Amino acid sequence: MSKLKEALDKGEFVITAEAGPPKGTDISEMLHHARVLKGKVHAVNVTDNQSSVMRLGSLAGCHLLVDEGLEPVFQLTCRDRNRLAIQSDLLSAHVLGIRNVLALTGDHILVGDHPQAKPVFDIESVQLLQLIERLNSGRDMATKMGRKELPNGNELQGATDLFPGAVVTPEADPLKPQLMKFEKKIAAGAKFFQTQAIYDLDKFADFMNYAKQFDAKILAGILLLRSAGMANYLNKFVPGINVPDNLINELKKAKADAGDDKQQAAKNQLQAGIQIAARQVKQLHEAKICAGVHIMAIGLEDKVPEILAQAGL
């Protein structure tokens, strides 16, 4: 049984975070972040070759979190695997005690560090959610065995018990395609959503007013800003993220307060970013408009407890 599902069903204000696997076999930093997050969050996502950059696998990372006594969320992309490998990994996840899966189509190969690799995309995120529902019912995704038609797939020797989730971008422009995909994901079986980073709480409240008609729990994405430069980069290159000018100016002021001391400027901006994230978490908690938050610290997971402390959680 998914502990994340239990917390959401109880109506707790759920907090999730991320632990990025290393580009190599040294897992010390990942385990350090996991231990810092233990007891502070309900679950921890393990990213799957995020941004198409080759790293330690999400499945192995989730298994390490289970060993550490944490509740993992297995991020699974369709970019690198065909349906055979995806189903095998999902069965493996269940056997290893992993119960939460975040279904992702995945960034294209060309944005990562192996642009010469061949992308798979045998299925996409909606089909992946349907596949998870099929495995949970005790059958696989097969449609044929030789000439024999298999309209209901093959029967499994033991079904999975996976809690499927997906992503949505509430601040996308235009928003309508996102809402259409959101509804398709719910129809395909998504039970919870972690959103792309949000900064316009009024716009997010409008999205939640629309989303409340569906039976799905929404965790608002909180992205830790470490500098004004990072904020400007997100605005320029990441679709669906719009960091407002007032927050960028707050980061710029923190930098300016350090004068010519570059090291202090970086510290000041990070501290301002932590304060911004904490304000967002506190506002969402007090507004009671969503099921919780998903904090993306991107390599600074040890700052998540500080964000939660400043938010009063």
Q: β-strands 72-77, 148-149: how paired?
A: unpaired
Q: What is the pLDDT of residue 55?
A: 93
Q: What is the pLDDT of residue 49?
A: 87
Q: What is the pLDDT of residue 113?
A: 80
SS (H, E, C) the chain: CCHHHHHHHCCCCEEEEEECCCCCCCCHHHHHHHHHHCCCCCEEEECCCHHHCCCCCHHHHHHHHHHCCCCEEEEEECCCCCHHHHHHHHHHHHHCCCCEEEEECCCCHHHCCCCCCCCCCCCCHHHHHHHHHHHHCCECCCCEECCEECCCCCECCCCCCCEEEEEECCCCCCCHHHHHHHHHHHHCCCCEEEEEECCCHHHHHHHHHHHCCCCCEEEEEEECCCCHHHHHHHHHHCCCCCCCHHHHHHHHHHHHCCCCCHHHHHHHHHHHHHHHHHHHHHHHHHHCCCCEEEEECCCCHHHHHHHHHHCCC
Angle, CA 193 vertex, CA 191 and CA 195 arms, to 5°: 175
Choose the CATH number for 3-310 among 3.30.2310.20, 3.20.20.220, 3.10.450.50, 3.40.50.800: 3.20.20.220
Mean per-residue pLDDT pooled into runs of 10, the chain (313 residues):
95 95 95 95 94 92 96 96 96 98 89 86 95 96 72 90 97 90 96 94 92 93 94 86 91 89 91 96 95 94 95 92
Q: What is the pLDDT of residue 145?
A: 65
Return the number of other C-beta atoms located less than 10 Å from residue 83's C-beta: 17
CB-side exposure of 208: number of CA atoms within 13 Å? 20
Q: What is the pLDDT of residue 146?
A: 64
Q: What is the pLDDT of residue 224?
A: 96
How far apart CA 192 and CA 244 sit, in angstroms, is 27
Q: What is the pLDDT of residue 106?
A: 83
How far apart CA 155 and CA 135 sit, in angstroms, is 9
User: pTM here?
Assistant: 0.93
